[in-house]
Amino acid sequence: MISDVIVKNSMYYVLDEKGKEIAHDWVNSVGELVGFSSEFMIFKKNQMYYSRDEKFKEIAHDWESSLGKFKNISGKSANFLKNNMIYTRDSHFKEISHRWA
């Protein structure tokens, strides 16, 4: 379970609830961290979003133009804003629901 993600010396470190390292990876390898929850993390690199687990294993990826602008993440879902609609998606970027912004 992800408790925190920190960046140090151009490397991301995923920490558990006891502050112990679960995994690490280079910033230039995975991209910019845009959000994380206890379940997964979302990174943006080259106009594409990537969802990754606590060990940086890729779960899914999709273009920013398809998903919209990242808004937030909580638990097992993330929200994206596109065309005045908020789309709630799971870690595989499958749509759970949508509503007007």
Domain spans, the chain = 4-100
Question: pTM, whole model, 2 decimals?
Answer: 0.96
Cα separation of the two ends of the chain: 31
For tokens 């230039």, what's the residue?
28
Q: How do residues 74-101 score in pLDDT, each as one tens digit?
A: 999 999 999 999 999 999 999 999 999 9
Q: How do residues 25-73 score in pLDDT, each as one tens digit?
A: 999 999 999 999 999 999 999 999 999 999 999 999 999 999 999 999 9
Q: Please answer whether residues 47 and 65 qualify as being in contact, where contact means their C-beta atoms are separated by less than 8 angstroms.
A: yes
